[in-house]
Amino acid sequence: MTGEPLSGGLRQDEKLCPFCAEVIKKAAVKCRWCGSDLPAETPEPTTSKPVESEEAQQPEKALQSGEAQQPEKAQQPAAARTKRAVNKQLLLTAGLAVLVLLAAAGLVLAVHRANGDSVAPDGELSSSAARAGIMAEAGTLTKTAMSYRAAHADADIAAAEKLMTPAMRKKYEADLPPAADRATQAKENVAVTAAIASLSGKASCQSDDCAVSIVSATADRARVLVFVDQSATAASSKHSVASPAWELLTLVKRNGSWLIDDMAAN
């Protein structure tokens, strides 16, 4: 026997002589190779570590991993731990994606509500689309109510009164030319034309260029201020008479349609 360590390290009952570095028994008090007396406790060389049994290694591994109660988990391969970490990361990413989608859906719903017939707590319409629709309707009603052709008086009057409540019809009829004068006006081809003024000064307005403003508006009642350019012409006159004015309309909703309930010049 040469005294060389066995392949794989020292056995549990062996140690190295601190003087000649030969392999001797742990219980030896004198080296059989160099004859040196051995100290009571021989420090182990740092370059070689005895192989411990699997049972002896488990408590140390458990303490190092912080899982003393679960030694099996501490001994799991690194590949398994890496796979578990990747799965957690994928779940976290998927969760964040769901939150982003929910936030986007909430934003779409908020925009949809803002463009719908939403109302403020006091009943006032807060939807820009609904308010724009009322202003456009007010312009159309005003032009019909304030336009008049003597040659087609009956048809024009009927068309205007169709857009009014009974109370407004009485007020409208009181302002019409007397029936006795309509025949003469028809011969003269008298015509009164109403147009909504343009904010940009154009001959006619379009959409948000029209001089129309909401004073107040709920789902079934609105007060709208309209700037009207009204002109009167006759066959016997080369000139037209213009009378621009602000009209304050009170609109009410009946059977899904807006009607003029009152009209007053300002």
pLDDT computed for residue 74 by the predictor: 47
pLDDT computed for residue 176 by the predictor: 92
Higher model confidence: residue 144 or residue 8? 144
| Domain limits, the chain | 14-74, 128-265
Count CB-CB contacts under 10 A for residue 23.
Answer: 18
Place 113 in a pLDDT band, splitting at 50, 70 and 90: very low
Residue whose token pair is 């109403």: 194
Place 250 in a pLDDT band, splitting at 50, 70 and 90: very high
SS3 string, the chain, reads CCCCCCCCCCCCCEEECCCCCCEEECCCCECCCCCCECCCCCCCCCCCCCCCCHHHHHHHHHHHHCCCCCHHHHCCCHHHHHHHHHHHHHHHHHHHHHHHHHHHHHHHHHHHHHHCCCECCCCCECCHHHHHHHHHHHHHHHHHHCCEEHHHHHHHHHHHHCCECHHHHHHHHHHCCCHHHHHHHHHCCCEEEEEECECCCCCCCCHHHECEEEEEECCCEEEEEEEEEEEEECCCCCCCEECCEEEEEEEEEECCEEEEEEEEEC
- Per-residue model confidence as pLDDT tens digits over 185-244: 999 999 999 999 999 988 889 888 999 999 999 999 999 999 999 999 999 888 888 888
The CATH architecture of the domain made up of 128-265 is Roll (3.10)
C-alpha distances in Å from residue 67, one per residue of 4, 72, 76, 80, 152: 39, 9, 12, 17, 99
The pTM of this model reads 0.55
Contact assessment for residue 116 and residue 129, using Cβ atoms and an 8 Å cutoff: yes
